[in-house]
Amino acid sequence: MAIHYEPPVCLAVLNPGGRDPFLDYADGPGGYQKGVHAPVNFHAYAAATRGAFFDSTGEFLRSRDRFDAVLVLIRRRTWITLAAIQKLKNAGVPVLVAWKECSNDQISRQLQTVPAIRAYGEILELADGILSPTLAWPPRLGKIDQDSFSRKLKFIPTPYPLDFPFWDFSTPVNERSGILIGTREFGTDSRNHIQALARAASLAHEFDIPRVSVINSDKGKGLRLLRELALSFPAGCLTIHERPLPYLDYMKLISSHRVTYQMDRGTVPGQVAGDCILARTICAGGSSTIEKLVFKEFSDDGTLQQREGCNKIALMLQDDNAYADEVAKSQEIATRLLSFQSVARQLGDWQILKRGR
């Protein structure tokens, strides 16, 4: 059964002018519905607190009395976010802010103009709180001093609906096999996608792994590259999914593998690792925030000895008892740190939100 809890705060998440439509989580996340955004990433902060996700500032203000605060997402056009925050502050609403695309590389790419930097500095001054879903803090820019910035800043990881059984996508262990490559993009340097495929090919040869799967998201060019890279694998080993999959098919694919492997060194929250949590499987090789928290023994920021990492993965593929133990351990950590109930409590303990209640 789902864990029933009373969230200490009710949070709205606002992506001003965004493409994701309004979603109300007053009754919790519900089950998966085709075409409806899953309660993960920033939607999850709203879902965990039985709040709502908005794309319109005006729409939020019409129902503002229900919410303790609003988390406004900072986008590439920072001045749009600034305008929304100014309107909210004028209405007396407590405002939290967070970068929608929040790795160091992503933030740097979004702060490439004077107007973007200027608006971001004003956002930091106006915000009551600055939420970071990653262990890499956002930059302090503009007139805000370091003490004020530090007082406003808080790390709270993205929650996952581990409390709700209909978000359990696990497959029986005896139906799982092989490795899924977690990354998909050749063009993002920090993903190290080619290196991950090369490492998986070496593992497949050394440990007789019959199945490695990869999803192509780079259209024709990516498909041509993957077909060439398939020559590095044992014959028939690499399965290429030619395009991204619908959510349920994607989650079934993850849960049908014993390990998801990647070499992503970006300072991201860790969506792939979060997907692995819901699939009740193991994520290895990357250094996202969730990997560092939940899959610490398998996380790698580039300093783990290659042989050590390979041996850990091989053990997960070959030893059912060791695999079950590691899955159970990761689920215990994830439930303690990332479940909806846990993150709702972390939000409720934030002094900035306490002052608003």
pLDDT in tens, 90-110: 999 999 999 999 999 999 999
Task: Give me the helix-helix angle, 193-207 and 306-318, nearest 10°.
Answer: 60
Is 20's pLDDT higher than 50? yes
Q: Can you tell me the mean pLDDT for 198-205?
A: 97
Tens digit of each residue's pLDDT (9 = 90 or more) over 137-181? 999 999 999 999 999 999 999 999 999 999 999 999 999 999 999
Is 38's pLDDT higher than 60? yes
User: Residue 4: pLDDT band by 50, 70, 90 thresholds?
Assistant: confident
* Structure tokens that stand for 285 in this block: 């090789």
* Structure tokens that stand for 211 in this block: 């199945």
Is 286's pLDDT higher than 70? yes
Q: Is 331 exposed, middle or buried (0-12, 13-18, 19+ CB in 10 A)?
A: middle
Largest CA distance in the chain: 64
Tens digit of each residue's pLDDT (9 = 90 or more) over 309-328? 999 999 999 999 999 999 99
- CA 214 to centroid of chain Cα atoms: 19
pLDDT for res 357: 62
Q: Show Cβ contacts of residue 260 under 8 Å, excluding neighbours closer than 6 positions.
A: 179, 180, 181, 182, 254, 272, 273, 275, 276, 281, 282, 283, 284
User: Residue 30: pLDDT band by 50, 70, 90 thresholds?
Assistant: confident
Whole-prediction pTM value?
0.95
- CA 239 to centroid of chain Cα atoms: 25
pLDDT for res 3: 61
Domain 165-336 = CATH 3.40.50.2000: yes
Q: Can you tell me the mean pLDDT for 264-283?
A: 97
What residue ranges do the domains of the chain occupy? 11-161+339-355, 165-336
Q: Show Cβ contacts of residue 259 under 8 Å, excluding neighbours closer than 6 positions.
A: 178, 179, 180, 281, 282, 283, 284, 313, 316, 317
pLDDT for res 167: 96
Question: To the nearest whole percent, how much of the chain has pLDDT over 70?
Answer: 99
Using an 8 Å Cβ cutoff, are 211 and 178 in contact? yes
Average pLDDT, the chain: 95
Is 292's pLDDT higher than 50? yes
pLDDT for res 1: 44
pLDDT for res 156: 98
Same fold, 11-161+339-355 and 165-336: yes
pLDDT for res 268: 94
Integer Cα distance of 271 and 100 in angstroms: 13
Question: Looking at domain 11-161+339-355, which CATH architecture does it have?
Answer: 3-Layer(aba) Sandwich (3.40)
pLDDT for res 2: 53
